[in-house]
Amino acid sequence: MTEKSSTQHPSSVPSQDPPHAPRRRLWVWAERLFIVAALAFIIYGIAPQLGALMGIGPDLGPSPAYRFTALDGSHVDSSQLHGSVVVLNFWATWCGPCRLEMPSLQALHAGRADDGLIVLGLATDDGSGSVVEDFLMEHEITYRIGRASSAHRRAFGGVPMIPTTYLIDRNGVIRHKVVGYFAPPALRMAVNRLLEETE
């Protein structure tokens, strides 16, 4: 009489994950979530730029009313800007992306003001206005700039990040909103398109 072998066929042995398998699966899912979040962040940043470049985008509704005294002493009142295309930029002297996009804003101001474009800035810097004034003089920025108040921020939905730029058409409707650096080609195309429109 032969004894039965105590060893089982390999196919009959229940498979068991190594002890570190759950941790590995967790890392795989974490990587996937990170990739999805990164893609969402990129799309969030690029989509408004593409919309401005191509002239498409969501209906953002009429611009809220706003007014301020610019650092040059002139008064800005949104109710008096009807019929003009307005670029309204929230920025700060310490903001790197703001500094990068200001030359393109200045170029638009210098080149298209006679066509009905008004470029405005609202500085979010704390402290005295001299910091902003010195910055503008140093960088030869000549479009009108005032100080952003909490009322301005609330009117435009909080403005949680800077730079944030609003493009407002001749009828006072916000056509584009770009949070972050506004690429010059997209900015130029959007402004040119809005200037060609009639009321």
* Amino acid occupying residue 112: R
The tokens 């902003």 sit on which residue? 132
> Average pLDDT of 149-163?
93
Beta carbons within 10 angstroms of residue 150's beta carbon:
8
**Rounded distance between C-alpha atoms, residue 158 and residue 156, angstroms:** 6
Domains of the chain: 47-196 (3.40.30.10)
* Amino acid occupying residue 8: Q
> Average pLDDT of 156-177?
94
Contact partners, residue 78, CB within 8 Å, separation at least 6: 63, 64, 65, 66, 67, 86, 172
pLDDT digits (tens, 9 = 90+) for 2-25: 555 455 555 555 556 566 666 777
pTM reported for the whole predicted model = 0.76
Provide the mean pLDDT of the chain.
Answer: 84
pLDDT digits (tens, 9 = 90+) for 83-140: 999 999 999 999 999 999 999 999 999 999 999 999 999 999 987 778 999 999 999 9
Helix (H) / strand (E) containing 134: helix 129-139
